[in-house]
Every structure is written in structure tokens, then in C-alpha cells.
Amino acid sequence: MKNKSCFYFSAAWQRVAVCLSVGLAVLATNCGAADAGKFDGTRWSLLDADKVIAAAKEITTAKYPDSDQATVDKKLVRVYRPDGTGESQDETFTKVLTEKGKRANRDMTLFFMLPYFTVEVAKLEIIKPGGERVAVDVAANSKEMIDDSQMGMNIYDPNMKLLKVNIPQLEVGDVVHSLVRTVIHRAIIEGQFSDSNLFEDSGVIRHMTYEV
């Protein structure tokens, strides 16, 4: 079973706010999932970087004066199995339009929870206006830490963690290209899968797809 949803955002829009919340109870026995931890096959294919970079050149502060950053393209893929395990992959191209946007994109923070699911930054690079690609050394620029936001709920679980990755050498006009993969090793509630995504940003969203 494969359901595919695509969301297209007109370049004339200054703000896009579409909230999508997906809750899936896994009842089917055939979900077309890949083997655990593997990201092979056409469903995991990446975006055409050259086309995305060409589209990024058309996004400027003159066209979008209220945007500090722009989501040029984003592709989210989710695969699940009857027991609630599965994989997800998020590929994102974000263009930095202002100094404020630069500050907002100098690092990325990802949540994961042991032993249920883990997260990996499979690729991270900066694409300069002239086309030069600068790879970010994820291992050298990342740090794992306990998620201290849970303290506000009077909870302390050392297995609730954050992966923070710094993105050095980022400048206004650059595009941040990231590929993030998550593996659900064990469902929090056996036999159920859930996923929630917010299709909203303070800057313009040019194009985004979500596939389950």
C-alpha cells in the first residue's frame, strides 16, 4: 500500500501555513516497507539538485521582502510496517536570504529517543551562489545531549536526546542542503505508527512533498 501526497506552493505567496498532522494506526499486513535501516530503491531517490539550485536563484529578497529564509524544496518520505517500526527520510534545500536567516540556520537540532528511534544526518552541505558545494563534516561539528526541555514538564529521561549539528561558513545567499534519516527500531506503542509534520514556516515555501 502506498499513498502519495504532493503539496505545491505558488511562488507568488509570501507566507504559507498549512498544518498537517498524520496519525496512522497500522492494521494492514502489507505496507510495502523496506528492510529496517536500509534506504534503497526508488522511493528513497533524492531531488534533482541542479534543478533546485536553478530555482533557488529566482528566490530573492526583492520578491520576498518579508522572508529571512526560503524552503526551495523539501521531500519527506515515510515507510512503516505492521509492528509500528519504519524509516523516514527528509531532504531539504533552504536558502538564506538575510542575516537573521543566517543566524537561524547556523545549526540544526534533531530529536531522538532511545531505544525507540535514532536519527542520522546522512548528508549536509552548503551550496554557494556560484555553485560551489562545501561539505560539512557532520562528525566534527555535531554533539549529542540530553533534551533538557523535558524539565519544564517535570520529566527527566536520559534517553530523550538531541543531536545538534553546527553549520560553519554559512553566508547570506547560500543554500543549505541536508539529508536526515530516522529509523524506528521499536514502536512506542506496539502495532502503531504515528507521524506529525508542520507545513509552516516564517519564510516562503516554494515546494514540498510528503509521501507515506
The 10s digit of each residue's pLDDT in 125-166 is: 999 999 999 999 999 999 999 998 888 888 888 999 999 999
**Cβ atoms 78, 86 nearer than 8 A:** yes
Q: How many CA atoms lie within 13 A of 14 on its CB side?
A: 7
Q: Is 117 helix (H, G, I), strand (E, B) or coil?
A: strand
pTM over 0.95: no
Helix boundaries (H) for 57-90: none
Asked if the model's pLDDT at residue 29 lies above 60, the reply is no
Average pLDDT (37-56) is 92
Q: Cell match 530529536: residue?
A: 111
pLDDT given for residue 9 in this prediction: 39
- Walk me through the domains of the chain, giving residue ranges and CATH numbers: 4-32+40-211 (2.60.40)
Q: What is the largest CA-CA distance in the chain?
A: 51
Asked if the model's pLDDT at residue 17 lies above 70, the reply is no
The type of residue at 102 is K
| Closest-CA residue to 68 (of 109, 99, 92) | 99
Q: What is the β-pairing status of strands 207-211 and 69-80?
A: parallel
Q: Write out the H or E segment, with its range, that includes residue 23.
A: strand 17-24
Residues 6+ apart with CB under 8 A from 61: 67, 97, 98
Asked if the model's pLDDT at residue 25 lies above 60, the reply is no
Average pLDDT, the chain: 85
Asked if the model's pLDDT at residue 4 lies above 80, the reply is no
Q: What is the β-pairing status of strands 204-205 and 69-80?
A: parallel
